[in-house]
A and B are shown apart, each in its own frame.
Chain A
């Protein structure tokens, strides 16, 4: 009996250790070191002096207007983006699983924007949203919609939402497709026979059953949007006048442009806890909605 339990524990370790060790060395350790750096004043050059300043870096954050503004922009951006990405992604998933002709092709097409990295996608979209939009506006006269979006603080933020939706909708579509496929056909058929309309079928049966996929997708998009950097850099560069400087960019600038390494780390840690609270609450909330088959 004892050996059996020992055995069990050994098996547990064999299964979990490879993942945990790699994860610990690559993510947890550097993160812990980073926490250490958040208590010092340092410019990020190893040979330059490092002074311990205790919690000063953390205190400073709360009066840093640029950081607070950036936090607000990030929040607005993330909320909008998570909604648009998931609604679009789910709609696309429903569309391509609806047994229409050409859905295989369409699925591939929807997914393709993902294959280009964020930086390049950002640059290409920058061109579309500034040059092309302006020239469409000039020729059609619809200047209310078609103007250089990147020069308006609010529309520049919308641009980011549009581009990330474009990129990630195909991503989450795949996860939604996996979810939709696990919904048994006979359940839907039965509901059909009972006379339930398409909407009722979707909201009463399909949607609750794909809740695990919803949890995953929302969590995934939430964390990705909070962390977004490359599209931000390529599309708006934080402009106009820092109106679209999101969290990750603000932290990057702090560390590598202002050379305030410790302060940047402190921001990153505050950021981590904020985001962790938000996203984990979300997971807990949506998990509760999941139903067991």
Chain B
């Protein structure tokens, strides 16, 4: 009986890992092709490369101006995510804890606008950037704070939605106890509620990092200068009208996702811990 169960769970483990490997096929194709030249790529895109052409990477790093773009992406992503998490958790918490008409309306507005297709906002955004400098004297184009501000705006919908759902599931009893102990609203939020939200915070962080790290359209509207380009913008020169320089593009993309993979590995364990259960008990 016991060995039978062991075999079964071992089989399940193997199945799970195999399934996992299946999910990696696109990444596998990406990595192997990043070492080929054009002719090899044409012969067979699934075959392993005959020689590891590291020079693709050297070329990609050079063409993408990798270090600068990497730092730009890092600054933009981290700051945007930082503010998204802070503002959206505060806002969602307040909206969830104040059950009146304006809160419900605000929440509804946040959620509904998640459905607006971005392409239709591009022209107005570009024009607003112009007005902002002309009439308010605040340049937005080619500034990092400009794009971060926009990411904060665009990131609110999903984040507020996620936090709101989570806050609803936290019993108010803890917060009430803290209030009785003389805690201010800020104290209640930052000492009690915010730490409890940890799983959702991690979810929001991960989703937003991936989104912002890979986003092309918004930075393409806001950041033109070479010294400000983020990684997705710097890969654009691999993508011609009809031709894509796959080998270099793949090398560039492999480099692009490595930081996110590393981050994901590090952050994993925080998601695993059932923080909620612990806090409520």
Contact = CB atoms under 8 A, between A and B. Distances in A.
A272 B261 CA distance: 34
B268 interface: yes
A178 interface: yes
Given A109-B21, A248-B117, A16 B106 contact: yes
Interface stretch (A55-63, A149-157, A220-228, A237-245): A220-228
Contacts of B109: 23, 28
B58 interface: no
A23 B92 CA distance: 13
Contact of A16 (B45, B91, B124): B91
A178 B156 contact: no
Interface residues of B, number: 92
Interface stretch (A79-87, A120-128, A137-145): A120-128
B115 A22 contact: no
Interface in B210-267: 210, 214, 216, 232, 244, 249, 253, 257, 260-261, 264-265
B152 interface: yes
Contacts, number: 244
A47 interface: no
Contacts of A31: 113, 116, 120-121, 124
Given A19-B88, A106-B17, A272-B115, A27 B94 contact: no
A106 B90 contact: no
A96 interface: yes
B257 A15 contact: no
Nearest to B95: A16
A212 B199 contact: no
B16 A112 contact: no
Contacts of B110: 19, 23
Interface string B108-145: 11111111111111011101100000000000000000
A206 to B, nearest CB: 14
B115 A279 contact: yes
Contacts of B216: 117, 119
A200 interface: no
Contacts of B127: 33, 46
A99 B244 CA distance: 43
B170 to A, nearest CB: 10
A27 B153 contact: yes
Given A24-B153, A28-B109, 15 more contacts: A19-B152, A19-B160, A25-B149, A30-B121, A37-B123, A96-B16, A100-B13, A102-B16, A102-B17, A115-B260, A128-B26, A182-B276, A184-B277, A216-B162, A272-B116
20 contacts: A11-B186, A18-B91, A29-B124, A34-B123, A103-B16, A108-B265, A108-B268, A109-B21, A112-B261, A115-B27, A115-B260, A166-B26, A174-B206, A181-B199, A212-B169, A223-B115, A247-B117, A276-B112, A292-B169, A293-B169
Interface of B: 9-10, 12-13, 16-17, 19-21, 23-27, 29-30, 45-46, 83, 86-88, 90-91, 93-95, 98, 106, 108-121, 123-125, 127-128, 149-150, 152-154, 156-158, 160-162, 165-166, 168-169, 171, 185-186, 189, 199-200, 202-203, 206-207, 210, 214, 216, 232, 244, 249, 253, 257, 260-261, 264-265, 268, 271-274, 276-277
Interface of A: 11-12, 15-16, 18-20, 22-31, 33-34, 37, 44, 46, 95-96, 98, 100-117, 119-121, 123-125, 127-128, 131-132, 166, 170-171, 174-175, 177-178, 181-182, 184-185, 212, 215-216, 219-220, 223, 226-227, 229, 247-248, 251-252, 255-256, 261, 264-265, 268, 271-272, 275-276, 279-280, 283, 292-293
